Amino acid sequence: MAVVHRDYERNEPTELTITTNAVSLRSPGGLLPDVAVQMQGQALEDFIKSNRRGVKGYRNPVLSDLMYGGGQMDRSGSGLSDMWTTDAQ
């Protein structure tokens, strides 16, 4: 989902690293202001680990609509929590 979430105003590349133990993706950007507000000052890692859902923000709404319409992503606002839950297992 780096295509949907990246900040296209930045020049840094998207980086994908694959090892035998993990897949890591780094996409230029950062938290959107409306997402930061929804986190209510909680640190990102703590927020993700709390398994809260429903925090939403769209950097690229047209790309988001395209991926959602094609079934490649959902809009439940659970992506960060889902990644932590999957990684922690």
Distance between CA 2 and CA 23 in Å, rounded? 13
Task: Identify each DSSP E strand in the chain by its residue range.
Answer: 15-18, 23-26
pLDDT at 24: 83
Q: What percent of the chain has pLDDT above 70? A: 72
Burial pattern 7-24, b for ≥16 Cβ within 10 A else e, equals eeeeeeeeeeeeeeeeee
Structural domain of 72: 2-88
As averages over each run of 10 residues, the pLDDT of the chain (89 residues) reads 81 92 82 80 76 72 77 58 52
Q: How many domains does the chain have?
A: 1
CB 46 within 8 A of CB 37: no
pLDDT at 1: 67
